[in-house]
Amino acid sequence: MRSKLLVESWKNFIKESQEEISDKEYFEGQYDFGLVPMSAKPFHEGHMSLIRKASDECKQVTVYVSTSDRKRKGEITIFGEDMQTIWETIIINYLPQNVSCIFGGSPVGNVYKKLEEASQANDETTYGIYTGLEDAKRYSSKYYASIVDRVYLRTMSRGEDTMAISGTLMRSYLSNASEDKFLFLDGLPREILDDDKEEIFNILFSRLN
């Protein structure tokens, strides 16, 4: 009888310990706010990877989306109004529940604006900035020095942490859609259903004809 009680006590101890570890893992290292700036012209799997990571690590996430046109010599133009339509009618339906979007303005500038507001608040709120490794240099701690201990730069490397896809490749696939349409569709986030991927393609491709 005593042996049985000891076994039951040990099982309860193990169960309680596992629950404590689980709670600790959930809360430790989790930030209050995730800030995800992006131009995203067009939006692709790499962008969604950043959003997923931010959603997993933060209680609330804001994605700052540029709505300006993307014009470059030798490349097709991606129109901001088209991308905003795609965000509002398609992409937003696939975002995690703790993610919201703000459209317009400079995404990087909006991050700094948020951090400036944070520096004036007398609290311990933590922030994570989520960006591609190649863009990390845009976020210098000297601009948020007063709260540097509460701001964490979280980067992902293309081709290692995320799919080896870029806006340049996606625009190239779109411009050569007669041969590369499948590659364009494949570069879109994996969550998006095929019909919605086709709609994204049609919205962007219609500007080329």
Q: What is the pLDDT of residue 209?
A: 64
Q: What is the pLDDT of residue 200?
A: 98
Q: What are phi and psi of 127, to 5 degrees?
A: -130, 140
**Which class for 77: exposed (0-12), middle (13-18), buried (19 or more C-beta within 10 A)?**
middle
Q: What is the pLDDT of residue 75?
A: 87
| 135, two tokens | 């863009």
**For residues 33 and 195, is the Cβ–Cβ distance under 8 A?**
no
Q: What is the pLDDT of residue 29?
A: 55
The residue type at 89: T
**For residues 83 and 169, is the Cβ–Cβ distance under 8 A?**
no
* pLDDT tens, residue order, the chain (209 aa): 444 444 454 444 434 433 333 333 334 458 999 999 999 999 999 999 999 999 999 999 999 999 999 998 888 999 999 999 999 999 999 999 999 999 999 999 999 999 999 999 888 999 999 999 999 999 999 999 999 999 999 999 999 999 999 999 999 999 999 999 999 999 999 999 999 999 999 999 998 86
**What is each CA distance from 193 to 43, 181, 199, in whole angstroms?**
15, 16, 10
**Which class for 75: exposed (0-12), middle (13-18), buried (19 or more C-beta within 10 A)?**
middle
**What is each CA distance from 66 to 5, 106, 136, 138, in whole angstroms?**
63, 6, 18, 16
